[in-house]
Amino acid sequence: MYVNAWPFDGASQVTAPQRQRAFGRVAFSAAGLNGSTRPMRIEESGSMRIRIPKGEGAGLDAVLVNTAGGIACGDRFTIDIEAGPRAAITVATPAAEKVYRSDGPVAELAVSLNVHSGARLDWLPQETLLFDKARLVRRLDATIEEDAHLTLFEAVVFGREARAEHITDGLFEDRWRIRRGRRLVYADTLRLDGPIADLLERPSIGNGARAFATLIHISPEAESRVDSAREHLSSGNGCETAASAWNGLLAVRFCAMSIEALHGATIPFLLAFRGAPLPRVWLS
């Protein structure tokens, strides 16, 4: 279902108690210079930070940090990442992003990615964990040149497994739009509103799964990699997987009964598909 989520319904904003909310923005750009990737711009405000640990190789590993300690009702965050010509950037997060319960207001997260000619950007945040009664609308917009490489990976978990938590009521809307060479090549919107745990039990939606992930890879050779991607996928052990390719992109879906099953399928796949180690913060 496609909906106009911006601006949000103001009625809940009026009836809910007024609280101090977190607002954060990060804008980061880097470019390839003399065979290495160097930061060109870093802007931070509110509770969002970006850190660039010293690493090996010609690329940059960037780590996004939310000092608010999670996302609560009414919080708003904006992330803008630009990979300039010949840059190589990997963006990750140090832990799962927790989305806490809301008494009405919707939290907003907007991500904008821009990948220039000859550049590579890997967007690899750790999973988003939704608590019962969480309300989150997330938007991801990416623009990529024809000869650039973009890999997107996002995972979401519904409910805290250690507490056997079920989302009896909540809102999760995830809207992705990707343009390559000024042409829209990928558009996807997921919206779950209401008793999410019950909705996920339906065979046509989740068939009982509670942890999901999507990988989108766009590059000049993306479609030709679908067979090798399928070789690295293993359905079963609590996680179903599938891969397809069209429009110059490769899409891989993971549908798991638990976060452990999701990790068991996604981590080996990412290692094999990327041919590179995962960001160090994933292992901390």
Percentage of the residues of the chain whose pLDDT score is greater than 70: 93
Question: Has residue 140 got a pLDDT over 90?
Answer: yes
Percentage of the residues of the chain whose pLDDT score is greater than 90: 83
pLDDT 10s digits, 177-197: 999 998 999 999 999 999 999
Question: Has residue 5 got a pLDDT over 80?
Answer: no
pLDDT 10s digits, 91-122: 999 999 999 999 889 999 999 999 999 999 99
In this prediction, residue 257 has a pLDDT band, given cuts at 50, 70 and 90, of very high
> Mean pLDDT score of the chain, rounded to an integer?
91
Question: Has residue 212 got a pLDDT over 90?
Answer: yes
Task: Give the pLDDT score at 234.
Answer: 80
Over residues 253-271, mean pLDDT: 95
Question: Has residue 8 got a pLDDT over 80?
Answer: no
Buried b (16+ CB within 10 A) or exposed e, 149-175: bbbbbbbbbbbbeeeebbbebbbbbbb
CB 104 within 8 A of CB 74: no
pLDDT 10s digits, 236-250: 789 999 999 999 999
Reported pTM: 0.90
State yes or no: cis peptide before 7, omega within 30 of 0.
Answer: yes
Nearest to 143 by CA among 209, 81, 60, 62: 81
Domain locations in the chain as residue ranges: 22-218
